[in-house]
């Protein structure tokens, strides 16, 4: 059981540098550092996600981020009044298993880590808080726990979790993790009803995570430990020693630990979650007008339906347009058909081959 001195420590992973929201998302300012669905950036929304949680004490957060983003992360945290945090600055990206190990080693052994990607949306916070509370008793006993999103469609873009026996409190044993499926497999899993999406959100004791890492990837744990022993500490910043950290193998927490552990729990939850992994999914989770247009920035829409407009400056005027994605950012204007935002990959590949955009 949770002792009275136990705390939940939010661990926010901000290492991503996805290009699926190009041209707005770039390596210099990836998705989590952008305001996409609200005035707050996705990092700010994530940091604020435990506010009002009443099921346990929540201590100050640990953020693990790309060292290049240190100034903007500090700025965004302080802009929303967060001054008490630890920012671990990765000298290089080694995926989520080492990133979480950095946080677990920084925390106290019996701290309960709430691991959250920094670039997801959760619209129903009470549902999230309830799920945390349901998981807490098993987590306190040492079980690694993941949150499973109740699937509302045969998505092929996510990994799935097959749930087994109910361990109590509507927390289930994990039968197995399933890689991103093809369309027909996704349809079958949806029909069976025992599958949830793997959202990459976890709850576990720091010592339980480190013990599992020691069991499955002692090389990884040794490298991360060495990088922290040689770390520089400057105010709120922790800078792991670069050479040891670079020597750490790169792997996700799913592959390195979760899929190898015999006893992992899953809390199924329906909480308005999205990974905002494409312009289409941003359209889906955004507030929309009566004609289903989602707009950020200055736009003038005349007889226009089902469009996403995202502009960082210029006014975008659409007349008699349906089902278009229009993104204006810096010296780039991108126009796609709604439902085809996976085409961004074609664009970023073509852009690599094209001359750089010119102009004012």
Question: Quick check: 312 binds a second copy (CB under 8 A)?
Answer: yes
Distance from CA of residue 119 to its chain's centroid?
4
Q: How far apart are CA 103 and CA 12, in angstroms?
A: 9
Least separation in angstroms between residue 23's CB and a second copy is 8
Question: Quick check: 351 binds a second copy (CB under 8 A)?
Answer: yes
Stretch that binds a second copy, among 63-71, 197-205, 237-245, 335-343 (CB under 8 A): 335-343
**Residue 265 · residue 142 · CB < 8 Å:** no
Question: Quick check: 311 binds a second copy (CB under 8 A)?
Answer: yes
Q: How far apart are CA 198 and CA 75, in angstroms?
A: 31
Q: Tell which one of 19, 298, 306, 323 touches a second copy (CB under 8 A).
A: 298
Q: Tell which one of 126, 168, 218, 330 touches a second copy (CB under 8 A).
A: 330
Q: Tell which one of 78, 156, 270, 331 touches a second copy (CB under 8 A).
A: 331
Longest dimension (CA), the chain: 62
Q: Which of 252, 284, 329, 342 lies closest to 29 in space, CA to CA?
A: 329
**Residue 286 · residue 270 · CB < 8 Å:** no
Q: Tell which one of 160, 293, 328, 352 touches a second copy (CB under 8 A).
A: 328
Q: Select 12 or 328, whichever has its Cβ closest to a second copy.
A: 328
What lies within 8 Å, CB to CB, of 122 at 6+ separation is: 49, 128, 271, 272, 273
**Residue 1 · residue 51 · CB < 8 Å:** no
Q: Tell which one of 3, 5, 287, 358 touches a second copy (CB under 8 A).
A: 358
Q: Select 89 or 316, whichever has its Cβ closest to a second copy.
A: 316
Question: Quick check: 352 binds a second copy (CB under 8 A)?
Answer: no
User: What is the radius of gyration, based on Cα positions, of the chain?
Assistant: 21
Residues interacting with a second copy, by CB under 8 A? 297-298, 300, 302, 311-321, 324, 326, 328, 330-337, 340, 343, 346-347, 350-351, 354-355, 357-360
């Amino acid at each position: 059981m949770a002792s009275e001195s136990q705390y939940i420590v939010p661990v926010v992973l901000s290492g991503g540098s996805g290009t699926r929201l190009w041209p707005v998302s770039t390596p210099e300012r990836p998705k989590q550092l952008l305001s996409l669905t609200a005035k707050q950036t996705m990092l700010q929304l994530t940091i604020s996600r435990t506010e009002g949680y009443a099921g346990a004490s929540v201590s100050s957060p640990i953020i693990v981020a790309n060292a290049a983003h240190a100034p903007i992360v500090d700025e965004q945290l302080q802009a929303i009044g967060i001054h008490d945090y630890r920012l671990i600055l990765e000298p290089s990206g080694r995926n989520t298993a080492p990133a979480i190990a950095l946080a677990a080693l920084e925390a106290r052994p019996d701290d309960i880590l709430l691991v959250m990607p920094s670039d997801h949306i959760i619209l129903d916070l009470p549902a999230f808080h309830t799920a945390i509370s349901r998981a807490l008793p098993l987590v306190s006993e040492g079980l690694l726990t993941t949150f499973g999103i109740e699937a509302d469609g045969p998505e092929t873009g996510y990994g799935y979790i097959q749930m087994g026996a109910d361990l109590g409190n509507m927390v289930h044993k994990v039968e197995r993790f399933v890689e991103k499926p093809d369309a027909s497999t996704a349809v079958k899993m949806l029909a069976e009803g025992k599958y949830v999406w793997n959202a990459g959100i976890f709850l576990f004791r720091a010592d339980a995570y480190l013990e599992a890492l020691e069991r499955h990837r002692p090389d990884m744990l040794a490298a991360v430990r060495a990088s922290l022993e040689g770390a520089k500490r400057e105010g709120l910043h922790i800078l792991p020693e670069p050479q040891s950290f670079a020597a750490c193998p790169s792997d996700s927490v799913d592959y390195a630990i979760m899929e190898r552990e015999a006893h992992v729990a899953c809390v199924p939850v329906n909480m308005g979650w999205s990974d905002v992994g494409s312009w289409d999914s941003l359209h889906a989770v955004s507030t929309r007008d009566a004609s289903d247009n989602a707009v950020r920035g200055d736009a003038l829409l005349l007889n226009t339906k089902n469009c996403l407009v995202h502009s960082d400056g210029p006014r975008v005027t659409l007349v008699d347009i349906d089902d278009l994605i229009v993104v204006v950012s810096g010296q780039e204007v991108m126009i796609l058909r709604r439902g085809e935002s996976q085409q961004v990959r074609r664009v970023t590949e073509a852009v690599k081959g094209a001359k750089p955009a010119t102009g004012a």
